[in-house]
Amino acid sequence: MKYSLTDKETIKLFKIEGNSPCDSADKGSYKFVIKNDTLTFTNVEDACMARQMAFYGNVYKKAATKTTSK
């Protein structure tokens, strides 16, 4: 999947390859919010129901990063 940001709170997603039924020409537009290290998406417009369902009701937590000193 590829993405582009259309503004500070909207992302467009589109399929490059894979087994989902989404047409690669269909771009999904979603509002996103990052709050307390949690990312959520809200559908704005997306013709692909499979992609809509992949994001619906899900929250994504920030991954812990490990830093090393040299």
Is-contact 49 43, C-beta < 8 A?
no
Give domain status of residue 31, yes or no: yes
Q: What is the pLDDT of residue 17?
A: 83
Give domain status of residue 67, yes or no: no
Residues 46 and 28: their CA atoms lie apart, in Å, by 4
Give domain status of residue 70, yes or no: no
Q: pTM of the prediction? A: 0.78
Radius of gyration of the chain (CA): 14
Give domain status of residue 54, yes or no: yes
pLDDT in tens, the chain (70 residues): 899 999 999 999 988 888 888 888 889 999 999 999 999 999 999 999 999 998 888 899 988 887 777 6
Containing structural domain, residue 20: 2-61
Domain count for the chain, please give it. 1
Give domain status of residue 39, yes or no: yes
